Amino acid sequence: MARHLITSALPYINGIKHLGNMVGSMLPADVYSRYLRQRGHDVLYICATDEHGTPAELAAKEQGLAVDEFCAQAHDAQKAVYDGFALAFDYFGRSSSRENVEITQHFARKLNENGFIEERAIRQVYSPADSRFLPDRYVEGTCPHCGYDKARGDQCENCTRVLDPTDLINPRSAISGSTDLEVRETKHLFLLQSKLQHEVEEWVSRHEEDWPQLASSIARKWLNEGLHDRAITRDLDWGVPVPADTWPELAAEGKVFYVWFDAPIEYIGATKEWADATGGDWKSWWYDVDADVRYTEFMAKDNVPFHTVMFPATELGVREPWKKVDYVKAFNWLTYYGGKFSTSQKRGVFTDQALDILPADYWRYFLIANAPESDDSSFTWEHFTATVNKDLADTLGNFVNRVLSFSRKRFGEEVPAGAEPGEAESRLGEEIARLLAEYEEHMEALQFRKASAALRALWSAGNSYLEEKAPWLEIKTDKDAAALTLRTAMNLIHLYAVVSEPFIPATSQAMREAFSLTDDTATWVTQEEAKSLSSVPAGTPFTVPPVLFAKLTDEDLAAYKERFGGQEA
């Protein structure tokens, strides 16, 4: 079995993330990781909070906290939410860790030795009101490309164009709001990406045909526009320090590395954190392992350029055999009624709020079933309610409840024996095996919406069988036939428990625990097992679990829309 290294884009430290962040990186990575583990693969799923940069300092200042204290608290708050969503990270680290500092400084030294870092004097925005140079995100203004009036000095979040602070129209300090800004000379380190253009192009060309069209088109767009040398240091109090043994003057001035230089390196840093905490071998996943490890990254489209072009350029320039990504699973954006999620405008659902309303499995299933893979998708409460009621409550939950409840009522608390399987059971087994193969195919291809549809079809097949056999009628004329139908349906419930686990882990556990199977160690279902539907034998004790999914009412829908906003943007 292959070894699979999986990372999802690092959630930024300044606040709890909304549902779009969840479905654009961490949740699909978790679903895929869970699936691979079930299929017997060796998996390492790594993530971390991205803690450096301007927003962290600004958020700490707003709360009156030292930035390190703010980041520690925010890390724990985010980790609690991800635990609530049952994200099964092997390790969830911090980019401010000692390990990341050491590896980032190592990368910088190696890039410098190889001629890919240059110290340059540049003219940078200085704020007399704040008595400091302003890093890019400390400068706000109007984007010269799209006219968005809250663009930051590094990137416009509206049109995603990369910017320099001096590009902005009507710039102002993000600290004081002062428009009395000057441009003064200061020194920074530049990564000479232009010298690595050809190598990055060759590397991308070897991979882009395998990547989703979204990822490959973004990478190709950046390469066609040409790679520019980029400043990789900033004037900040919080970040990975420029090493004094290599750049003593800049270190004395307190320069730190740009967050987008050290953040991707934190994938490696967090793996070393994991190794330091568990005794694992972090280099066996990252160093000189190209043939041994398949590395998959999950991210939304605004992160794609950094992971398909900028970070590979860094790794190539180090001239060491660091593992590079094999597959980039890129997502479009999840919108809220066609507009942006906004904390300030109280529009949209944030992940902590979601868990306050309903258990994680409601959200996990809906988000993956509607993942923005081919284009942007829109969250609406109407769609969410309809999906929960139809797929989760009716198709899956009601099937489980009525099968187990009816069997307990008519046959007691053990799986009934009944007749031998007949033609209907044979047809059902073939259909389940076919749908399971389809589900596996889509999961292997990381096509989550299609995998969700195949999983839903598996659930529907059970309902169709139950309607065809109608055990509530069979019981009146042929008790053994009714017992066979119920035993077969119970085997379907167990199969659903196993194969649904990547999507709805808590519900899957509840379904599995309904049966007292002392030797139930199955991690997956083979095609033959799917055809025979015999893993839960007659005589197995069972219980009826509580309602798996409660239906959402019109009153629930109205309350959600009122609380979170439900109008078209």
Question: Radius of gyration over alpha carbons of the chain, in Å?
Answer: 27
Q: How far apart are the first and last CA of the chain?
A: 47
Q: Which residue has the tokens 């041994």?
A: 292
Contact 397, 504 (CB under 8 A): no
User: Tokens 């529907």 appear where?
Assistant: 460
Q: Which residues sit opposite 155 in a β-bridge?
A: 162
Sheet holding 182-191: strands in order across?
A: 132-133, 117-127, 182-191, 230-231
Q: Tell me if 159 is assigned to a ligand binding site.
A: yes
| DSSP 8-state assignment for residue 486 | H
**CA-CA-CA-CA dihedral for 513, 517, 522, 524, to nearest 10:** -50
Alpha carbon separation from 520 to 417, 486, 511, 537 (Å, rounded): 19, 20, 13, 12
* Structure token pair of residue 330: 């890129």
> How far apart (Å, rounded) are the C-alpha atoms in residues 387 and 504?
14
- DSSP E strand boundaries for 286-422: 293-300, 327-331, 334-336, 377-379
Please name the residues in contact with 314: beta carbons below 8 A apart, sequence gap of 6 or more. Answer: 107, 111, 191, 261, 264, 265
CB 267 within 8 A of CB 299: no
The tokens 């809220």 sit on which residue?
336
Amino acid making up residue 35:
Y
Specify the 3-state DSSP secondary structure of 114. coil
The two structure tokens encoding residue 429: 């087994």
Strand partners, 229: none
State how far the Cα of 280 lies from the Cα of 45, in Å rounded to an integer. 13
Alpha carbon distance 406, 437 (integer Å) = 30
**CA–CA separation, 397 vs 4, rounded Å?**
33
DSSP-derived pairing of the beta strands 3-8 and 293-300: parallel
HSE-up (13 A, CA, CB side) for residue 53: 22
146 known member of a binding site: yes
Q: Can you tell me which residue has the tokens 């980041």?
A: 71
Identity of the amino acid at 130: D
Continuous segment of H or E residues that includes residue 92: strand 91-94
| Contact present, 143 and 155 (Cβ < 8 Å) | no
- Tokens (6 digits) for 134: 């302003």
Output the furthest CA–CA distance in the chain (Å, rounded): 92
- The structure tokens listed for 262 are 């050290």
Q: Compute how many other C-beta atoms are within 10 angstroms of the C-beta atom of residue 187.
A: 15
Q: Is 47 annotated as contributing to ligand binding?
A: no
Annotated binding site: 143, 146, 156, 159, 343
Annotated binding site for ATP: 343
Annotated binding site for Zn(2+): 143, 146, 156, 159
